[in-house]
Structure 1
């Protein structure tokens, strides 16, 4: 299983969408570090490089990072179909469920690699603004960017790392959902659109207050609300596990 996972990981990171996604995640922080209109648009004057990391994460999690994860998970199976390699792979004496799970584990690792690229870019882009202590806030803790006083470099680092880890957990069920749709449609475009449409539909369900605490979309901003992790994290893992099991079941019974 380990060899299969490493093989799927190798194939995943050879995808063009993955390479472009990692490049975009790495370069995004430089956009915020050089943006001349932060004060006019956000009322923010950068006081620390840690704020660059926060801005990049918050902006990326609005749409870019979820979209990149959905595309990568969809293409991991869709590319096999479009290139005609899926049927030849399935001729090997390998259970279909194991094949899908190997792709799933690779897709679940990708969000953390993507966020690591963003974090690395943030550190480099934030160097001119300093990565030590400062008066203000990272935007990820109490008081937002205004903060509640002096923040040491280690405290800021802890807040930024915690937010990136929570964001990675938020992206896990999105990857599993996209792979589930990929097993249903065997198409990169169709599965990506279906995953995005599902998230948009879930957002509309906020009109039903009884459902709101159990919706996946309620916790897409968990990196900004770590206090909600007590319920949010277990629910995100349940969603990811449920989508993964359904993907394995569907693909095992799929007529190819």
Structure 2
């Protein structure tokens, strides 16, 4: 099984969408470091390089990072179908569930690699602004970017690491959902569109207040609300496992 997971990781990171996604995540912080309209849009004058890291996460999690994860998860199976390599894999004496689990584990690692690339790009882009103590906040802790006084590098780093880990957890069920649609449609485009449509539909369910605490979309901003992790984090993991189980059941019964 470990060798199969390594093989799937190798195939995943060879995908063009994954390579471009990692490059985009790394370069995004440089745009924020040079953006002339930060004061007008965010009311912010950069006081530290740590704020560049936070800005990249905040902007990326609005749309870019979820989209990149959904695309990678959709292409992981869709590319195998379009290239005709999936049937060859299924001819091996290997359970279908094992193959799908290996793909899933690779896909669940990708959000953290993507966010790691963004974090690294943010640190590099923020170097000219300094990474020492500063008066203000990271934008991800108490007081937002204004902060509550002097913030040490250690405190800033811990806030940013916590936010990135929570953001990674937010992206896990999106990868699992896109893989589920991949098993249903065996198409990259259809899987990605179905995953996005499902999220948009869930957003509309806010009209039913009793459902709101249990909706996946309620916790897509969990990295901004770490106090909600007590309920949000277990629910995100349940969604991830549930979508994965459904994907395994569908994949076992698909006629390929």
TM-score, normalised with respect to structure 1: 1.00
Alignment of 1:70-89 (within 5 A): 70-89=70-89
- Report the equivalent of 2:101: 101
Q: Give the secondary structure class of the aligned counterpart of 1:250.
A: helix
Equivalent residues in 2 for 1:208-219, closer than 5 Å: 208-219=208-219
How far off is 1:193 after superposition?
0.3
**Length, aligned pairs only:** 256
Deviation at 1:186?
Answer: 0.1
- Note the C-alpha offset of 1:228: 0.2
Q: Which residue of 2 aligns with 1:48?
A: 48
Aligned position for 1:195: 195
User: Shift of residue 157 of structure 1?
Assistant: 0.4
1:50, CA displacement in angstroms?
0.6
Corresponding residue number in structure 2 for 1:156: 156
Matches within 5 A, 1:6-45: 6-45=6-45
Gaps of 5+ in 1: none
1:88-237 counterparts in 2 under 5 A? 88-237=88-237
1:92 and 1:225 map into 2 onto residues whose CA distance is: 46
Whole-angstrom CA distance in 2 between matches of 1:41 and 1:103: 40
Give the secondary-structure state (helix, strand or coil) at the position aligned to 1:139.
Answer: coil
Runs (4 or more) in structure 1 with deviation over 2 Å come to: none
SS at match of 1:103: helix
Deviation at 1:41, TM superposition (A): 1.4
Unpaired runs of 5+ in structure 2?
A: none
Structure 1: distance between partners of 2:146 and 2:216: 30
Q: Which residue of 2 aligns with 1:4?
A: 4
TM-score, structure 2 as length reference: 1.00
> Helix, strand or coil for the counterpart of 1:167?
helix
Distance 1:187 1:167 in 2: 27
Cα deviations by residue, 1:66-110 (Å, 9 ceiling, x for unpaired): 000000000000000000111111011110011001000000000
Cα separation, 2, equivalents of 1:188 and 1:90: 19
For residues 251 and 189 of structure 2, what CA distance do their matches in structure 1 show?
Answer: 18
RMSD of aligned C-alpha atoms? 0.4
C-alpha distance in structure 2 between counterparts of 1:198 and 1:40, whole Å: 34
Residues 36-73 of structure 1 deviation map (CA, whole Å, 9 limit, x = unaligned): 11111111000000100110000000000000000000
